[in-house]
Amino acid sequence: MRSAVYGSGGHGKVVADILTAASEHEVVAFLDDDLSKDGVMVGGLAVHAIRSNIREQAKQLKIGAIALGIGDNKARSAVAERCHAAGLAIVQAVHPRATVARSAQIGTGVAIMAGSVVNPFARVDDGACINTSATVDHDCVIHRYVHIFPGAHIAGTVEIGEFSYIGMGASVLQNIRIGEQVTVGAGAVVLENLEDGVTAVGVPARRVKSTPHSGRG
């Protein structure tokens, strides 16, 4: 299937590489909201700036599916909503060198990078990203548009709420619940539940900031 990656930055480059490695899609272009990038070549693919009607541009390029190549959770969600509204299919990007259990549930638009692991009966909801060499153990629930950064490790039966970030190299103990729009800093070790809107850093992770919860984005 002829596909495009929405987002031509570093995250988008990785997603394009995943689709190519998986050999399920012919990646023909990047799409981007940055008009200054229009016509720029990235890894041999042209960037097409979205000027007005994404449905019409996709039709002109003969694109049948879109992969989400944006690292920011809220921006990734907004792009997915625009694509859905335009009737465009959104595809998963799962690297062939990722390990995903047969019993795991993987949603629409999920990105699972090389070296990462999703273990049995875990659930990764729409638009979430399991970045390079991150691990999600058994029976976890990773809600929509969560981003688990490279080298982070999530132990069994953990739940992570929508739009949360788990920083590079962070660890989360088993049976923990992390709320929505939480940021866990790089290298932090989470030993207790974290409520919505918290930023937590350190070993063990301690709350350093709490922001009002602003809904589901």
Counting beta carbons within 10 angstroms of the beta carbon of residue 206, is it exposed (0 to 12), middle (13 to 18) or buried (19 or more)? Answer: middle
Joined together, the tokens standing for residue 25 give 């899609």
Instruction: Indicate which residue of 84, 138, 147, 213 is catalytic.
Output: 138
The label of the residue with tokens 């850093």 reads 201
| Pairwise CA distance, residues 68 & 196, whole Å | 25
HSE value, Cβ hemisphere, 13 Å, CA-based, for 128: 26
Strands 183-184 and 165-166, bridge-based pairing: parallel
Residue 139 CB partners (closer than 8 Å, separation 6+)? 120, 121, 122, 156, 157
User: How deeply is 80 buried, as exposed, middle or buried, from its count of CB atoms within 10 A (0-12, 13-18, 19+)?
Assistant: buried
User: 50 Cβ partners below 8 Å, 6+ apart?
Assistant: 31, 32, 33, 57
Q: Is 45 helix (H, G, I), strand (E, B) or coil?
A: strand
Whether 138 is catalytic = yes
Residues designated catalytic: 138
